[in-house]
Amino acid sequence: MDHAELTTEQVLKRDIPWETYMMTRLIKGTDLQLLRRYDNKAESYRVQLLDDDGVAYIRVFVNILRDIFKEEIVEYVLALIDEMLTANPKRARLFHDKCLANEDTYDPFIRVLWKGNWFIQEKSCKILALVVSGKPKNHESILANGGASNSNGKLTAIDNMLKGLVEWLCLQLKKPSHPSRAVPSAVSCLAVLLKEPVVRSSFVQADGIKLLIPLISPASSQQSIQLLYETCLCIWLLSFYEPAIEYLATSRTLPRLVEVVRSSTKEKVVLVVVLNFRNLLSKVTFGAQMVDLGLPQTVQNLKTQAWSDEDLLEALDQLEEGLKDNIKKLSSFEKFKQEVLLGHLDWSPMHKDLIFWRENINSFEENDSR
């Protein structure tokens, strides 16, 4: 079977001769004992083992990935970890246990990420994203400014891992390893990883934003809607990072987002796009751009629809108020008067807005209408 089409269930049906690897000293006796207790056992029993001795099993899995390079073994162990984390994502915290503080639990995943087949790449990417999301909030290696954590400026293990992972993700967006699954997998991982300031910094430095922008496009199928949602989620996460905002302001991001929100009926897509607008409204020239693109009318149209998400309804109200404030600033009568007197009148949407004329109609009668 093509490795790209393998499933976790198929891989986990394999019978792995662990004893053989102990005889060749690739697996320690204590690791073998743990594997015998865990492998091919009922899910309820495995849950108990992980609850009682989860860190020991993480160490076993990482040791195997570090010491054994046979493809079927790598696939099998990654499938075990994927199954474990999918069942309970909170188990990702086990990778950050203080008992593993002196071990590089990330390097084996990065190594197989670059050298493995698609099944191995996809699982490694997903696992690393989950492990990063399970990092304790006070983890020292990631600083708010996205820099290194020690005084010498050297990257820590997790910073190194994230840099390599971002590089791989950008490569997938440029030259996908799998024709249909590489881009969705990369974007899905980014939607998790971009919560980290250091990842935002690395992604912007790698010129990754321009790789996301073409993916902001109206979608119809379930798969394409999910990709669109996660892409817009990535943009939203980047909108909290100043260097990213500067790039977004000079790209086609805003017109694309407006096009998406006008055509989308999926509530979660509309919500994340509206959150983007709300976040960007007060930044650089976004307010003026939104008015020029007719977003105030679009927001009014959206508010007439029967949305059930209270967060979306609240975000629409806030966006509407923010846009009204921008229209007032951008379409003041004094600005209009100055443009007329100078012969530089720009009939922008704000000057065509009914609110502008309603509020300023009496001003035209000043000085005997001269």
Judging by beta carbons within 10 Å of its beta carbon (0-12, 13-18, 19+), is residue 7 exposed, middle or buried? exposed
- Which residues in the chain show pLDDT less than 50? 140-154, 334, 338, 369
pLDDT, position 324: 92
Would you state the structure tokens that stand for residue 267, as one six-digit string?
């509530």
3-state helix, strand, coil in the chain (%, to 5): 70, 0, 30
pLDDT, position 40: 93
The span from the CA of 41 to the CA of 156, in Å, is: 37
Per-residue pLDDT of 134-184, as tens digits, reads 988 765 444 333 444 443 333 577 788 899 999 999 999 999 999 999 999
pLDDT, position 143: 38
The span from the CA of 187 to the CA of 230, in Å, is: 6
Q: Cβ(243)–Cβ(283) under 8 Å?
A: no
String of DSSP letters for 326-360 = HHHHHT-HHHHHHHHHHT-----GGGG-HHHHHHH
The span from the CA of 106 to the CA of 95, in Å, is: 9
pLDDT, position 152: 38
Question: Is pTM, for the whole model, over 0.75?
Answer: yes
Q: What are phi and psi of 96, to 5 degrees?
A: -105, 10
The span from the CA of 79 to the CA of 7, in Å, is: 9
The span from the CA of 100 to the CA of 97, in Å, is: 6
The span from the CA of 160 to the CA of 69, in Å, is: 22
pLDDT, position 46: 96
The span from the CA of 189 to the CA of 117, in Å, is: 18
- List of residues 6+ apart from 172 with CB closer than 8 A: 182, 183, 185, 186
The span from the CA of 171 to the CA of 341, in Å, is: 54
Quick one: how far is CA 198 from the chain centroid? 13
pLDDT, position 102: 87
- List of residues 6+ apart from 108 with CB closer than 8 A: 62, 65, 66
pLDDT, position 154: 36
User: In angstroms, what CA-CA distances link 206 with 164, 194, 209?
Assistant: 11, 13, 8
- List of residues 6+ apart from 154 with CB closer than 8 A: 148
The span from the CA of 216 to the CA of 153, in Å, is: 36
Q: Cβ(260)–Cβ(269) under 8 Å?
A: yes
